[in-house]
Structure 1
Amino acid sequence: MADEQVSLFGEDPAARAAALRKEIEHHSYQYYALDNPTISDAAFDSLMRELRELEAAHPELVDPSSPTQRVGGYVGEQFAPVVHEQRMYSLDNAMDLDELDAWMERTAEACGGTLPPLCCELKIDGSSIALTYEDGVLLRAATRGDGTTGEDVTVNMRTVRDVPLRLREGALAAITPGVDSLELRGEVYMPKKSFELLNAAAVSEGRQPFANPRNAAAGSLRQKDPAITQMRDLSTFMYAIADDRSLEVTGQWELLQWLREAGFHVNPDVKLCETAAEVRAFCEACLERRESLPYEIDGVVVKVNEFARQRAMGFTSRAPRWAIAFKFPPEEKTTLLRDITVQVGRTGALTPVAELEPVVVAGSTVARATLHNLDEVHRKDVRIGDTVIVRKAGDVIPEVLGPVLSLRSPEARVWEMPSLCPSCGSPVVRDEGEVAFRCISIDCPAQALERLLHWASRGALDIDGMGEEIVSRLVESGRLADVADYYSLTEDELASLNMGRVNKEGEPIRLGHTMGKKLVAAIEASKGRSFARVLFGLGIRHVGKTTAELIADAFPSMDALMAAGEDQLAEVHGVGPKMAHGIWLFFRTPDNLPVIDRLRAAGVTMAAETLVPGEEVPQVLAGLTFVLTGTLVNSGMTRDEAGARLKAMGAKVSGSVSKKTSFVVAGESAGSKYDKAVSLGVPVLDEAQLLHLLETGEVPREV
């Protein structure tokens, strides 16, 4: 048998397998890292086919780093936590060339008055990844997560073709003696063409398309089935190392050359600049080329090249001082405004919406954009039939900037708000001093859907999994009319819910028992949300999350709140006469009272938590003032909930930073409050430090 196998593959199987792997790795390197294929796809496939057949005949030769092992059928416990070798920091942004110049001036000052060489790289709009290699072999892949701890996506990353499973031998000599493992970092992205094909397939199959290539890359990377990830055509650009002392390289430019030599895909659009003028010229040139690139970019990253200088400059609490992201201005496109329709919100507000000729802006197709209100439509002089300028605010939210007057058609029509609600036909009113028109009908179907979605949203009762598609189906079926109806839903009726699609056999697709069970559990869990969140979830006009907390503090039960008069409500800090009238009116609207009674009967929280005597929370934070900014992404808490826990421990929570502030808690995307804290020397806590404080009561001595 052994002799037959040797003759079948022409030589010793182990030697042939090694030769095939080396040949395949060489051609993968030429194709993915150098963008310079030297053999045809058919020839490459032939080599892979021979290696698969050889390994199938000799299972003992299968190696985890073999090119054939990029994907398998195994789907185990996904997304286990992975602690990064060193924190993956965010980058500070320069929103224009003046801010970039200011950063370069600060950098020159920090380096003795002379601007050091700067390495400029494209800022890829994808999902950050950390790859760990042990003894040259891919050991683990992890998402960025909160910067300290990410998710293990090793199985999925092994399917991404330009990720080497083993580092090329020629690059291993540069690894510092005694170093066994390297954590390398980069960006996973989806090419524009692949994104378009993915979304086209989603639309044809009745699925929700991805918003942009960045979301598509992140979603594809976190698939539970690695075979799906493999089909999504992901690519990478690698550009960093967790600890530069792990390699015998002296700077970023040299690191990029080593990464390419090691087998990684490295972006070719990089430049080592000696002067500020060269940096500005590179940024301007990249902005001009942005649209022609086959992948999305949203700026240029500028780094001090020398690692020794980087270490000397160090980090702030969230970003390196030695790097800056020059952000491109939002991409603008022109398109036809086909019509203006009206969307009815959960409070009855009517919002004009621009219906556009679909146009690709910042990586995704835009067909609709809010016009906010009638005054805004008239101020911009936007008319139906106009050619308009469209962009995405922050590269996320579509907005219409205004018309191209030189292209205005004589047939372009001025738009006015309808006098009747497009959802229910009831009269539309506009209160004196307000910009919004409103539908006055409490039975308006459009408002019902929005109220139901608001109740289930994360900031309110947080019914996990109860999204718009499911709620819409429940409303259409007549099963959901108001928020109290959630609490009579059963697993069986949710499982049998018709999702409006059919399978290959033409049978209707049902929600299923797994999802039904999950939703029932989420509905049950929502009963225990705080009284303040219940008040917010009711959708009382003018009552946001902060106001709901103030009201819950002043009137700690539903009965006390319903009995309060307008004058009493107006006395609450932050609640004026106008808001007080709206709250008072809500609880005197006959249609609302039965809903509250049914919520009470279902066991939904109707009073603020009170402490049991003898179980008082130690006031360890008394005398301290906290300010929270940014988004808390790992704790499951909103800023309001974190603030409530701090208050329960005796702290004061403020909305503004001053010299009297004790600590600022900075989550993801912290803004001006973080900057002010740094300028005033106020200590800044990250989310991990906040959680430690809440769990232990230990106030940080040094930050």
Structure 2
Amino acid sequence: MRRKPVVALSEEEAKIELARLAREIAWHDYLYYVQDRPEISDAEYDALRARNTAIERRFPHLVRPDSPSKRVGAPPSDKFPKYRHPKPMLSLEDAFSDEEVADFFERVRRFLGLDPTAEIEVTAEPKFDGLSIALHYEDGRLVVAATRGDGYEGENVTRNAMTIGDIPKHLQGSGWPKQLEVRGEVFMMKEDFLKLNEAQKKAGKATFANPRNAAAGSLRQLDPSVTAARPLRFCCWGWGVASEWPYETRWQAYQALRSWGVPLSPRNRLCRSFDEVRAYFRKMEEDRATLPFDIDGVVFKVDRLDWERRLGEVTRVPRWAIARKFPAHRAETVLKAIEIQVGRTGALTPVAKLEPVTIGGVVVQSASLHNKGEIERLGVMIGDTVIVERAGDVIPHIVGVVKEKRPPDARPFKFPNHCPVCGSLVVADGAILRCTGGLFCPAQRVERLRHFVSRDAFDIEGLGEKQIQTLFEKGAIRSPADIFTLPQRNGEIHLETWEG
């Protein structure tokens, strides 16, 4: 459904939409920050936030107490002890064009009372796509590590962070403050991610959607030995509290951090003009696909720390920094077929089968179409040339149809009236179609069993997707209770001889 332009919204319509956006963004924050399994792309998420911001600017008196513009991240999980950040871990303002970055520089000049033509030196840094973490040092020794959480309260993951080789357990050299909070990103190299997924697959365990999810899921393990076995990396992008901080610029501070053994990106640069800022972004955009790690943009930060202190923060973002986001990876290809998958709640999900196409260095052969409502919104037909987007390395999905290239034999997709797995009646639930078979439907039963043993539920080691499928097909399990009697029945069903 196409949304009304913000300028055309009535006050009542704006109020209703702000309520919807607050719920929707909170849900996606929970999936991303707590569950480590986002279901929409970064570009779609950014669009939701941008619309929320635009409506609030036009109707400032309608800003809600639970507005996404007042919130960072999501509340921490109950799996770990909570840790209150002594200084909030804020988010960043996003920019999607050179003009928006130029506006940022203009706002900084106005706030500081500088000449409109004055150049502002900024640090330029890759924006790592991982999980933000704060490392607290006392007398040079690491004592606490905590995730960002909602920006004010995170999860205490000290035991897990201690297993990451890149994270200094004791600062090197001399001159470090008695108390220092180092902030940065835990991430995973692309090659290590592929190897981890291959190992997960061979072990019959669930694979990760992308390196960011793999890194977040690996750090937030209840068993530190699992974290220790995962190839996690760390890169610093800043600091929080510091008992002494004699540096005049961010660039000077970065050199000090590096001398203490704190890893920083070798691609950091000091830009002395807006032309250098643009050139840095273009270079990183050009190199993005060949980098050994995922980034989803670059960050520009005012270099002078006295200016940073004067600029301060607003609600959830600092005035002294901005993130220039990359456009989503997109490509055109042909939609060959649409297959239906049945999930654990009975939802029928259409999956597009595509002519293979390379997007962002990855060969894509299938993409999500989400639901019946999305197919109708796109007006997509089998045989169409479609635009496929892979943003933030989430599951690729179709975002548009090139209707000028539609062949004469293109045909609309017809959803089945009965479940393709169990034959039960299919009913509409808004834009989603559902199988009414419930636990009678093998697909729903298997998916529920998979969920039961997954990281989000009982987190049962050694039982992955392949094993569950095999055990179900062999009749060894039909309900969660059967899982707990497997050891006693091992001699009867000979688990060790089964594949998967």
Fold shared per TM-score above 0.5: yes
2:121 paired residue number: 117
Conserved 8 A contact 1:157-1:221: yes
Inter-CA distance 139–311: structure 2 relative to 1 (3 Å threshold): same
Q: Is the Cα–Cα contact under 8 Å of residues 374 and 417 in structure 1 kept in the other structure?
A: no
- Counterpart in 2 of 1:87? 88
Flag the 1:292–1:420 CA change in 2: closer, same or farther, 3 A. Answer: same
Which ranges of structure 2 fall in alignment gaps of 5 or more residues? 1-78
* Distance in 1 of aligned mates of 2:276 and 2:385: 37
Residue matched to 2:264: 266
User: Which deviates more from structure 2 when the two are superposed, residues 302-311 or residues 238-247?
Assistant: 238-247
Q: Is contact 1:345–1:446 with CA below 8 Å preserved after alignment?
A: no
Conserved 8 A contact 1:212-1:363: no
1:199 maps to which of 197, 200, 203 = 197
Q: Distance in 2 between matches of 1:212 and 1:308?
A: 39
Gap change, CA 1:464 and 1:371, over 3 Å in 2 = closer
Deviations 1:206-256 (A, max 9, x none): 111111111111122223443432332221111211136622211211111
Provide the rounded CA distance (Å) in 1 between the counterparts of 2:169 and 2:340: 53
Cα offset, 1:87, TM superposition = 1.7
Determine if the alignment matches structure 1 residue 506 to structure 2 residue 496. Answer: yes
Q: How many pairs does the alignment contain?
A: 405
Paired residue for 2:109? 108
Give 2:72's aligned residue: none
Partners of 1:247 and 1:504 lie apart in 2 by 64
The alignment partner of 1:257 has SS state of helix
Higher relative contact order (CA 8 A, sep 6+): 2
Residue 226 in structure 1 maps to residue 221 in structure 2: no
- The 1:380–1:117 alpha-carbon spacing in structure 2 relative to 1, beyond 3 Å, is same
Aligned to 2:253: 255
Mapped contact 1:116–1:304 kept (Cα < 8 A): yes
Partner of 1:246: 244
Cα deviation for residue 142 of structure 1 reads 2.3
- 1:449 counterpart (429, 444, 451): 444
The verdict on how the C-alpha distance between 1:405 and 1:163 changes in structure 2, with shifts beyond 3 A counting, is same
Pair 1:126-2:125 in alignment = no
1:495 is matched with which residue?
Answer: 484
Q: Does 1:152 align with 2:156?
A: yes
Which is strand-richer, 1 or 2? Answer: 2
CA distance in 2, matches of 1:501, 1:400: 45
1:27-66 superposed matches below 5 A: none
Aligned equivalents of 1:501, 1:402: Cα separation in 2 = 51
Distance 1:343 1:105, change over 3 A: same
**Which residue pairs with 1:99 in the alignment?**
100
The structure number with the bigger radius of gyration is: 1
1:275 positional shift: 2.7
Q: Which amino acid aligns with 1:166?
A: H
Q: TM-score, with normalisation over the residues of structure 1?
A: 0.49
Match of 2:166 among 151, 162, 165: 162
Read off the aligned partner of 1:200 and give its amino acid letter. E
Q: Which amino acid aligns with 1:275?
A: S
Alignment check: 8 A CA contact 1:371 1:377 kept: no
Segment of structure 1 superposing worse, 328-337 or 341-350: 341-350
Q: Corresponding residue for 2:293?
A: 295
Which whole-Å CA distance do the structure 1 matches of 2:215 and 2:209 have between them? Answer: 11
C-alpha distance in 2, partners of 1:85/1:374? 45
Structure 1 residues 439 and 143: alpha-carbon distance in aligned structure 2, compared to 1, 3 A threshold: closer
Alignment map for 1:47-446 (pairs within 5 Å) = 79-114=80-115, 116-169=120-173, 172-173=174-175, 175=176, 179-243=177-241, 246-333=244-331, 337-343=335-341, 351-356=349-354, 367-370=366-369, 372-373=371-372, 376=375, 381-384=380-383, 388-392=386-390, 396=394, 398-402=396-400, 414-417=411-414, 420-421=417-418, 422-425=420-423, 445=440
Q: Deviations over 1:563-607 (max 9, x none)?
A: xxxxxxxxxxxxxxxxxxxxxxxxxxxxxxxxxxxxxxxxxxxxx
Letter in 1 for 2:485: S
CA distance in structure 1 between the partners assigned to 2:410 and 2:417 by the alignment:
20
Structure 2 residue identity aligned to 1:398: P
CA distance in 2, matches of 1:231, 1:445: 39
Give the deviation of 1:365 after TM superposition: 7.9
Q: Percent identity?
A: 38
2:380 and 2:196 map into 1 onto residues whose CA distance is 37
Distance 1:304 1:354, change over 3 A: same
Report how far residue 139 of structure 1 moved: 2.9
RMSD, aligned CA:
4.6
Distance, in Å, in 1 between the alignment partners of 2:238 and 2:123 is: 12
Q: What is the alpha-carbon distance in structure 1 between the residues aligned to residue 373 and residue 171 of structure 2?
A: 60
Shift of 1:122: 0.9
Per-residue CA deviations over 1:101-128 (Å, capped at 9, x if unaligned) read 2222211111113453221111000111
Q: Kindly tell me: are residues 245 and 98 of structure 1, through their superposed partners in 2, closer, same or farther at Cα, counting changes over 3 Å?
A: farther
What is the CA distance between 1:162 and its match in structure 2?
A: 2.4
**Matched-pair contact (CA < 8 Å) for 2:301–2:320:** yes
* CA displacement, residues 612-668 of structure 1 (integer Å, 9 cap, x when unaligned): xxxxxxxxxxxxxxxxxxxxxxxxxxxxxxxxxxxxxxxxxxxxxxxxxxxxxxxxx
Amino acid at match of 2:414: M
The two structures have a TM-score, normalised by structure 2, of 0.67
Greater mean alpha carbon deviation, residues 148-157 or residues 358-367: 358-367
| 2:411 partner amino acid | V
AA paired with 1:369? S
Structure 2 counterpart SS, 1:342: strand
Amino acid at match of 2:132: S
In structure 2, the CA distance between the partners of 1:347 and 1:125, relative to structure 1 (3 Å rule), is closer
Alignment of 1:586-665 (within 5 A): none
